[in-house]
Amino acid sequence: MLKVPKERLIGWRRQDTITKIEHPTNIKKARALGFRAKQGYVVVRTTIRKGARIRPKTAKGRNPSRIGRRFTPGQSLQTIAEKRVARKFPNMEVLNSYYIAEDGVQTFYEVILVDPHHPSIKADPKINWITTHRKRAFRGLTSSGKKSRAL
């Protein structure tokens, strides 16, 4: 587990929710999950609020007795983070993601993205399988997505 200094977390908290970064924070973990330092690979840091979600309130009619109750979605925060990043970068495919750190309010993940249209990705026999995959994060084909599907 990588120990992230508190000052670094404070800086990350002030950044946007989804931030493109130059290099992975935990290079060993990133390489184990498929990251390579070459063109076509992008690493993105994302934050997600900790805890259960609040069910949205209805805007019509009387208020139900269970209004504002908290509920837990049927997927992990990591899977939700991957889906948010996939929506932000529609031309990229989510390869994998990993946990970095957390503070009292947010959890930080890094998501590895691959550009399936980049020539160096198409030419690489180890990763060119991703050129035929579309919307992996939404179909639960990443490692955290498979865990939430109980595979």
Q: List average pLDDT for each run of 10 residues in the chain, which is 151 residues long.
A: 84 94 95 94 95 77 74 87 96 95 93 96 93 91 88 74
Residue-wise pLDDT for 42-84, tens only, equals 999 999 998 888 777 777 777 777 776 777 788 899 999 999 9
Whole-angstrom Cα distance, residue 137 to residue 91?
13
Domain boundary assignment for the chain:
6-148
CATH architecture of 6-148: 3-Layer(aba) Sandwich (3.40)
94 CB contacts (<8 Å, ≥6 apart)? 82, 85, 86, 111, 112, 113, 136, 137, 142
The amino acid at 115: D
The model carries a pTM of: 0.88
